[in-house]
Amino acid sequence: MRRIGLLGLLLSCGAAAGVPLLDGGHLKGRAQLAQYPDDSLFRQQLGEYDAGAAGVARLRFTGARGGFSFNADYQLIAQYAEPLALPVSGGSFYDSARAPDDQRRWWDLTDVIERDEDFLLEQRLDRLNLTWTSDKAVVRFGRQAVSWGNGLIYTPMDFLNPFDPAAVDTEYKAGDDMLYAQYLLDSGDDLQFVNVQRRDAQGDVSQAVSSTALKFHGFAATREYDLLLAQHYDEAVIGAGGLLDVGEAVVRGDLVLSDSDEGWKASLVLDWTWSWAWRGRNFSAVAEYFFNGFGLRESDYDLAALETDDELARRLARGELFTIGRHYAAGSLLLEWTPLLNLTGNLFYNLGDGSALAQGVAQWDLAQNWQLLGALNLPLGPEGTEYGGLETAYEGLTLGTGPSLFLQLAWYF
């Protein structure tokens, strides 16, 4: 409790008089509510309804001198939620909203203040890095995040720390401990290098669980393209992608090949985006196809197949994949109702089993430095499908979920 009091004092000082090196931050309070149908194994564990709540404070500290700068982001996270001791969530918000930890990261920058069965209070550093910048080069060492690839919903080239495609709050990725370098060529093209160090299941820093990647980003007339060569955990990865204008739309995509234990496997994303104005309001649309080379075939859809497929299970556990099938279509339509209110409809459709996750999101800037974010998830499909609920070893029980709600209020300072 003493540390919480110190944080409150720091926030007060930062808002009123300014703390040295403090460069702003935010406070977020969120709540989730999920409903589970009669045949759901979740209902047996959690009841018909399950509620959770969390509060997150982030303080950003920055400084610079000469060509050097540093960044440190402090987080205090308080979270209440019933534990979900099951491998998939079937479309609820809980998996993507869980507090991060440093169990497998190189540096342990997380301090658990209090933990019990359904409550967690922790403080951590989500960013801690030193950067050197010149006219053509950037070198950054420490905890940070990178985003690669051209997919807007599914992102197979962004395998280091991607967002869940159904994540609602995507303001910050969880940071990883890495060395990042970028060199800008005279042509405007650039080279990027990343090395991420991690700990294995025994807690040892090991090259077997590290990642090293080199990516080239180039320009050709109105086109852009990426070439990737990487060693991710114990697998070689090569990829290529890019974007080009087609009329008033933009087409982009990535092809990624991974040398897995079962041979080379391909993942592909291809999307089309278009923006327009109608009746004084702005619209933008995304249509996307995603092929997951590690996904289960439709005939293998059950919990047992998911648990025994090591290639897929490892990627789900590492947070690199969020789907269990092979073929997906996704769409997103954003309407700027007013400059302060955006409404978005998303649909994630499994082409193999006919199930889907429908999502509605509202983002409202209530006032200066205040934002309200709300979302509704609605899984659709019969039992035995990904979003309708995978069958389990328990007779008559599935991993099905019903509608779920998410609400978050944020204050920025």
Q: Which fold has domain 21-412?
A: Porin (2.40.160)
Of 369, 365, 408, the closest CA to residue 15 belongs to: 369
Rounded to an integer, the average pLDDT of 353-376 is 96
Rounded to an integer, the average pLDDT of 177-203 is 96
pLDDT band at 10 (very low <50, low <70, confident <90, very high): low
The domain locations on the chain are 21-412
How is residue 99 annotated by DSSP?
P
Whether the Cβ atoms of residue 215 and residue 198 lie closer than 8 Å to each other: no
Residue 277: CB atoms within 10 Å: 9
Out of 14-28, 129-143, 348-362, pick the least confident: 14-28
Per-residue pLDDT tens digits for 380-400: 999 889 999 988 888 888 888
pLDDT band at 83 (very low <50, low <70, confident <90, very high): low
Return the pLDDT at 302.
72
Residue 165 has pLDDT above 80, yes or no: yes
Strands 356-367 and 341-350: antiparallel
Residue 12 has pLDDT above 90, yes or no: no
Rounded to an integer, the average pLDDT of 117-144 is 96
Rounded to an integer, the average pLDDT of 275-302 is 91
Residue type, 36: Y
pLDDT band at 11 (very low <50, low <70, confident <90, very high): low
Per-chain mean pLDDT for the chain: 90
Strands 249-260 and 235-246: antiparallel
pLDDT band at 92 (very low <50, low <70, confident <90, very high): very low
Q: In which residue are the tokens 């209070």 written?
A: 121
Q: Cα separation of 22 and 253, whole Å?
A: 39
Higher pLDDT, 43 or 27: 27
Return the pLDDT at 161.
87
Integer distance in angstroms from the first to the last C-alpha of the chain?
A: 24
How is residue 298 annotated by DSSP?
G
DSSP per residue, 189-243: -EEEEEEE-BB-TTS-B-GGG-EEEEEEEEEETTEEEEEEEEEETTEEEEEEEEE
Out of 80-84, 219-223, 317-321, pick the least confident: 80-84
Residue 6 has pLDDT above 80, yes or no: no
Q: In which residue are the tokens 């060199």 written?
A: 183
Rounded to an integer, the average pLDDT of 116-144 is 95
